[in-house]
Amino acid sequence: MDLKNLWPKKDAPQIEKALKFVEKYKLKKIVLKYGGQVMANDQLSKAFAQDAAICNLIGIKSLVIHGGGPQIKKRLEKQNIKSKFILGLRVTDENVIKIVEDVLLNDINPDLVRTINSFNAIAEPITARNKNGILKVTKAKNPDLGFVADPEEIDVDKLNNIIKLNKVPVIAPMGLGDKNQVFNINADTAAGIIAIKIKATRLLLMTDVPGVKDQNGKYISKLTVSEAQTLIDNETITGGMIPKIQTCISAIKNGVGGVVIIDGTRPHAVLHELFTDEGAGTLITK
């Protein structure tokens, strides 16, 4: 397939400069975590879907895990339910879990699948309520968080079979428990564990900022695992960025080639990260 016909007409890296990176990532597994305010912006959402499709069509084995924070927040506010967080994780009681499930499984996942498909790739929806769900849980992460869990089991074979068919798995971060109860899973955590299990070359975590800041408030282009941990320990990194960086650290320690906190507010951030020398965020490595 001709790359020039696939490539965005504006806001993307120069195709001539991008070509040298295509072979670098061809046939490699790359996990793309889609989330943050970009999800509420039609132009940025469409650009992300196009990026995911392009990666797939040029031979990269790309997987997408999506969040849903902005949409969930909006739905909760509409029903006068106040959001509570503990260390960046949403407290999810019986009322909240129903809303989370509806937003993730009935709105965001099918919409993202349709948009990726509109760019001539084939996306496969992966959800807790489908027979192809891959995230299994048995217990809550913390009683104070309610129906929130970490995935304890990943159906890697099922995931790899979808990838072998040259499809883009689009995964909703919800796990199914023994009693058919769904649990909310932090999308960054899910993305990290999946990246580890499938031995991904890269994990890209989309955020609303250009990257990770140092103690002076300046954005950092590259961090080691130990430097990232120090930024958590000295409270330079706080709030929702904590689980993201913890995911990065765990992924690197468990064999993922590199993890990037990418700037989701930048159109075609995925292409800029993968197909330019300067990237589009903060790269975390060993």
User: Could you tell me which of 265, 204, 172, 224 has the C-alpha nearest to residue 28?
Assistant: 204
d(CA 253, CA 196): 9
Report yes or no: 189 and 205 within 8 Å, Cβ to Cβ: no
Asked whether residue 88 is domain-assigned, the answer is yes
Structure tokens belonging to residue 145: 């968080």
- Give the CATH number for residue 72: 3.40.1160.10
Asked whether residue 251 is domain-assigned, the answer is yes
Asked whether residue 17 is domain-assigned, the answer is no
pLDDT score at 162: 94
Reading phi first (left if > 0) and then psi (alpha if -120 to 50, else beta), residue 255 is in left
pTM: 0.92
Max intra-chain CA distance, the chain: 53
Asked whether residue 171 is domain-assigned, the answer is yes
Tens digit of each residue's pLDDT (9 = 90 or more) over 14-30: 888 888 898 889 999 99
Structural domain for 77, as ranges: 22-285
Asked whether residue 99 is domain-assigned, the answer is yes
Spell out the SS3 assignment of 94-106: HHHHHHHHHHHHH
d(CA 285, CA 282): 10
Asked whether residue 15 is domain-assigned, the answer is no
pLDDT score at 132: 67
pLDDT score at 234: 92
pLDDT score at 79: 92
What does 265-285 look like in DSSP terms, one character per residue? TSTTHHHHHHSSSS-SEEEEE
pLDDT score at 225: 95
Asked whether residue 98 is domain-assigned, the answer is yes
277 CB-contact burial (10 Å; exposed 0-12 / middle 13-18 / buried 19+): exposed
Report yes or no: 132 and 124 within 8 Å, Cβ to Cβ: yes
pLDDT score at 141: 79
d(CA 47, CA 270): 9
Q: Is the dihedral of CA 80, 86, 88, 92 positive or negative?
A: negative
The one-letter amino acid code at 41 reads N
CA 184 to chain centre: 15
The one-letter amino acid code at 126 reads I
Structure tokens belonging to residue 141: 């992460």
Tally of domains in the chain: 1
Asked whether residue 161 is domain-assigned, the answer is yes
The tens-digit pLDDT sequence of the chain (286 residues) is 677 888 998 999 988 888 889 888 999 999 999 988 888 899 999 999 999 999 999 999 999 999 998 899 999 999 999 888 887 788 899 999 999 999 999 999 999 999 999 999 999 999 988 776 888 887 777 889 999 998 888 999 999 999 999 999 999 999 988 778 889 998 999 999 999 999 999 999 999 888 999 988 899 999 999 999 999 999 999 887 888 899 999 999 999 999 999 999 999 999 999 999 989 999 999 8
pLDDT score at 1: 61
Report yes or no: 226 and 171 within 8 Å, Cβ to Cβ: no
**Bridge partners, residue 44, by sequence:** none
pLDDT score at 242: 87
